Amino acid sequence: MIPGFHEVSHERLGDYVVLLANGATLEPGALEEVAAVLTRFRSQLLYADSREGGVVIRRPAFSPLRLREQDYLGPLRVFSRAALELDPSDLTEVVHVPRVLSSATLATVPEEPADPATGAVERRPDGTRRVRYPVQGEPLVSVIIPTRGGRAVINGHDRVLVVEAVRAIVERSSYRAFELVVVADDETPQAVIDELRAIGGDRLRLIRWSDSFNFSAKINRGAAFASGEYLLLLNDDVDPVSPDWIETMLGLAQQPGVGMVGALLLFEDGTVQHGGHLYRDSWAGHIALGWPVHRDDRLGSMRVTREVSGVTAACALLSAELFWRIGGLSSVFAGNYNDVDLSLKVRSTGASVVWTPDARLYHFESKTRDAAVAPSEISALRQRWGSRLLTDPYWSE
């Protein structure tokens, strides 16, 4: 798999092989550091942070789906001899050393990732790749939308959010095997209900919600009625931009090891609302919040599908089997952090959470929204997941 290495006799190789990109040098003590880590942890592949063109490049924890679209491993990589012949995205024991172990005066040229076994590869204008994972079969997707029929002025037009969201899904989504499970508060205006029935037709399941507000419980109520093999949790204030958003997320969710998939969400003004979750310093937030859509980090993380610590439940797709296996959304988190908890529950099963820029939606949440977080929610989150909220393995900036 490594260019040129098929010409080297394996008998002449040691247990580990250090590969250094052309033009890069090792930092003092780098090999000792590598040896120390390899002594502590079994590893098929080890990579590290680097300094390129004078700038420190921090790298994420092992992200196999990302690796298929972007070689983010950097100039130094250490393979076990047995792993040399394998596609790095198929490896299971991979260690990232969060220290600068190599330097290059210029940015090193990434390697072309191997073509995946499944999926069509397209080259993006910036040199990265997009892997389209075809949907296996035509599974029914239940789109669960909790609502109370609220209105907002979007682009100067007064609109009923859930009506326009449902209309956009029905009229503009290229994936057609879906049902709409709308969990509507008692207070939802009758005209909104009537319009939803007219737009949704046979696809629509209307579920009544008569209790006090609890976002998690409303989603769980929807799941109890859903008959889809996959559940797509969706806020009522969204508007899909990519017609193929459902199949993009579904194709990823069907990949081995993937538990939940999230999307690129944009504010009304086109800036980023959600680029994945970021957990750091006992706090949870959104990656790239408020960034112009073309802004990026040094690695180009916003351009590629990648593993993340979590995704927002404003738009998240997972299998119904997994949803039920992990107990759905926790009603302990009535209004906030329910998606953080859900993401960490998914990851605790060993599955990954993935974010993709190729499923793009507007999310008309106010930029200045100040969510009232109950102290009990923060406390419960830290009790459950305290150590998982200290550092984010997938986002280093």
Partner 1 sequence: MSDAKNGAWVGPESTLPADELADRERQLALVDRVFGLEAQLAELSAENSLTPSERLRTEQRLIEMQGSLAWRLGRAATAPLRVAQRFVVRARAR
Site string for partner 1, 103-142 (x = CB under 8 A): ----------------------------------------
Dihedral-angle region of residue 29 (phi above 0 means left; psi in -120 to 50 means alpha; beta otherwise):
left
Report the residue number, 30 or 193, with the smaller CB distance to partner 1.
Answer: 193
Q: Indicate whether 172 belongs to the interface with partner 1 (CB under 8 A).
A: no
For residues 344-363, which are near partner 1 according to CB under 8 A? 344-345, 348
For residues 190-219, which are near partner 1 according to CB under 8 A? 190, 192-194, 197, 205-208, 210, 217
Report the residue number, 181 or 359, with the smaller CB distance to partner 1.
Answer: 181
Cβ burial, residue 139 (10 Å; 0-12/13-18/19+): middle
CA distances from 73 to 3, 66, 97, 305 (A): 16, 10, 11, 15
Site string for partner 1, 219-258 (x = CB under 8 A): -xx-xxx---------------------------------
Q: Indicate whether 397 belongs to the interface with partner 1 (CB under 8 A).
A: no
For residues 309-338, which are near partner 1 according to CB under 8 A? 324-332
Q: Hey, what are 180's tokens?
A: 């709409």
Q: How far apart are CA 217 and CA 180, in angstroms?
A: 17
Report the residue number, 154 or 204, with the smaller CB distance to partner 1.
Answer: 204
Report the residue number, 33 or 164, with the smaller CB distance to partner 1.
Answer: 33
Q: Which stretch binds partner 1 (CB under 8 A): 9-17, 155-163, 269-277, 383-391?
A: 383-391
Q: Indicate whether 89 belongs to the interface with partner 1 (CB under 8 A).
A: no
Q: How far apart are CA 287 and CA 160, in angstroms?
A: 28
Q: How far apart are CA 225 and CA 242, in angstroms?
A: 27
Please, what is the Cα angle at 375 between 372 and 377, to 5 degrees? Answer: 85
Element (H, E) at 308: strand 306-308
Q: Are 310 and 344 in contact (CB under 8 A)?
A: yes
Nearest to 46 by CA among 66, 8, 18: 18
Residues in contact with partner 1 by the rule CB under 8 A: 37, 40-41, 43, 61-62, 94-99, 184, 186-190, 192-194, 197, 205-208, 210, 217, 220-221, 223-225, 324-332, 344-345, 348, 380, 383-387, 390-391, 393
